[in-house]
Structure 1
């Protein structure tokens, strides 16, 4: 006996990946429904590569009573309306938006990092999925924190256009093509030209000069991993279609050599260590697309501080940064709380 599963926002980049990954991982769903706005209602979408077509239903009219769990990828505004409605009907919401991440009654989960925190989902019947850049970073940090206790993290991100949705990917493609043929380039989704450029600005600016994306990395990492860790982030949009990269500098309380860190990361859940000190002995965003792993390369000592390390971290942001993590939460929820059969 399997679960009755809802995917809300099924026509977006993340929603489509949720359907793909549910199918790839053979999630035990007896019944699955795809929801979207009224604009897409009546259309069909494929359930991964299974050949099964799902007819998209209007989320406004959908009754969640009797459904076990709903994977939401519909943005904060729509989530504010529908998540409480689904949760009240007994359907556990796994939400990809930022709306509930810092709610003390809502667990913020990366299954490889803080699986036990999921037990608190009953307070609201809602579980939050972290920001894409946070998710891959804490997968890398967790085993190192357990080994030597992290005091401080300095991270610079190189985030792909897909982090801004289909509009971001389309703008990168259209601008790249326009530049090659000599046409005018006009930014729409991004604040400046994204093609052949980098933009040190993701989300809104805050009073202290940081952006909301940078703030998310700080507060979410503290909630997921350890509130005592000091973190500073600089988040940058780069002309890559899919795959976020991060340069991470870590200061530990206890000594941890690069070799020891490599050995730890090699065995860590969710991590793939590819760290050969030679040309091409590292992973780039292009190579991580479609993969489940968080790839770690360039692990090396930082001689400027006591007990310091640097590393390079790459992951498919539509997968581990969003859809995969949501499906892993669903799997964890099923194992621990919604057992069937």
Structure 2
């Protein structure tokens, strides 16, 4: 099945595994940017792309055409070398490639009702998984080799999730996350926690992957809204921060660690030892921070928390500064800084804003 044409200027957007670079696909080609500076470091104008995925900071890309040009079939995955500007390998499928995920050892290809797992160097097929119809390619992937999981919808009528162990190649668990079908999900970088949102978009839930239980709920708002993206903070120990963007145009930040430590009455570096598991345990609104009109209302957006800095004011008080980058599919990039002092007072500042479509590449970049 071919993907439907998008009305957005950007057809796809992704950050690499450590959020040091990001990529966009447009109707003209694809671009790679350095996240810290916003520098356009590579550009290839050869047609429309619906998938552009980086492998850490290497020269390897996984790219899939959007089908708007005959040579760029949505059923063909190309592994591309940005140093040489040439294709290394190509994989062809019977239906459109919706999503590609990769780490140092695995290549994951998601079709509408099937998943292929490859050994990335040899491209040997390790596993094939039949799934429920998943026309949007909804998934979550943790790139850590020690906790490498893939999460995909397990039902088309309810918000249940199948979690698959990508390294050991077996089903890990199934999580009944929501009553309504899923709209967004994300795994923490270490594969320990999964955040999910349903099509209602009012409640976001955090689940412990080890035993498949719901650990925490956070309320985005009282009225339904489409959740466009979810992202955990970069901490490798615990999901201390969770960010969400939605069709309302607001940016939501949930300080999970602060709430957990306050409720437990003590600090801990292991979330599992203090995280409440009561089905009615919803995050205190004091730990939910909202920036309204961060993105134009209704415009699809993708946000990541690139950096979280914490300063201890005392043994129990901590101030936090979070750096959040947003790619809007209308072609713009915004980077916001959220500061929270030890009295839980917040301030927002816009650090950077630029047009991704008109960015000028370095002389050394591709063309």
TM-score by length of 2: 0.32
Structure number with the bigger relative contact order (C-alpha 8 A, sep ≥ 6) is: 1
Q: Which structure: greater strand fraction?
A: 2
Q: Which structure: greater helix fraction?
A: 1
